[in-house]
Amino acid sequence: KLSLITIGILISILLISPLIDQQISNYFMNQDSIFGTLFQNYGLFPPTLILIISTVILNYYIFTTFQNKLAKILTLLISFIFTLIKTNEFVSETAQYMLSTSENIKNHKPMGMANNEGNAGNALSLGMSFFISLIIIIIITFICYQFWLKHTNNQELDHLFKVSLISFMILCIGLELVDSLKHLWGRFRPYEITDKAGHFTHWLT
């Protein structure tokens, strides 16, 4: 019964929200908020951190329990490349956000205005971005191994492996799904809408 009530509430919210989403956004939106700008600029760090830690745990477990060298190498390469790419996205976008915030403050504009516009490469070169990403991964890997994983027993490691595997898969699917939806579906930004939202189309239509 509780599940049905919860599902009913969620469906109701989904059906009602397209009718009032613009009004809610306009009411709560404050592009000059320090709190909001900080979370917008650095909001990608938590999932990136979880992704890196999950990758470290996965590889540590595999390298300490698996005997097949090919499986070890393939797992390391695939997980490392994926994690490096996603970490680079975080570094690149964060650099762009920071540059945008700085420019907005300098030009006396709301600090959080359109922070996610433009090419991240303008703020940081591709090579430098990947270098910083690699350094971040190395530092987090060292901390995880030196102060945590090397002190775990087999039972704890088994538990960590299961948690990290689920976390890695959820993040992998989630990040790719969000990026795909942004490209295929688009997203609504209330501060870009003019003429009383004349050209805004609800996602249900």
Number of H helices, E strands in the chain: 6, 0
- Looking at residue 82, its pLDDT comes to 87
Do the beta carbons of residue 83 and residue 200 sit within 8 Å? no
Mean pLDDT of 10-27: 77
Check whether 119 has a pLDDT greater than 50.
Answer: no
Hey, which of 138-152, 165-179, 182-196 has the most confident mean pLDDT?
A: 138-152
For residues 49-59, one letter each, b for 16 or more C-beta atoms within 10 angstroms of the residue's C-beta and e for the rest, the string is: eebbbbbbbbb
Model confidence at 134: pLDDT above 90 = yes
Domain for residue 76, yes or no? Answer: yes
The residue type of 161 is F
**2-16, 144-158, 161-175, 178-192 — which one is most confidently predicted on average?**
144-158
pLDDT at 109 over 90: no
What is the pLDDT at residue 144?
93
The boundaries of the domain holding residue 44 are 32-197
Share of the chain above pLDDT 70, in %: 81
Number of structural domains (the chain) is: 1
The token duo for 25 is 């956004």
In this predicted structure, what is the pLDDT of residue 194? 52
Tell me if 2 is assigned to some domain: no
The reply to whether 23 falls in a domain is no
Q: What pLDDT, on the 0 to 100 scale, is given for residue 191? A: 52
Q: Answer yes or no: is pLDDT of 135 > 90.
A: yes
CA distance 41 to 29: 16
- By residue count, the chain amounts to 205
pLDDT in the model for residue 133: 94
Residue 113 resides in a domain: yes
What are the distances in angstroms from CA 135 to CA 77, 83, 130? 17, 13, 9
User: Does residue 147 lie within any of the structural domains?
Assistant: yes
Please tell me the predicted confidence (pLDDT) of residue 193.
55
Specify the pLDDT at position 84: 92
Examine residue 158 and state whether it is found in any structural domain, yes or no.
yes
pLDDT tens for each residue of 165-188:
888 888 878 777 777 776 666 665
Per the domain annotation, does 9 fall within a domain? Answer: no
For position 205, what pLDDT does the model report? 44
Is residue 55 in some structural domain? yes
Angle (nearest 5°) at CA 98 between 97 and 99: 90
* Number of Cα atoms under 13 Å in the Cβ half of residue 136: 24
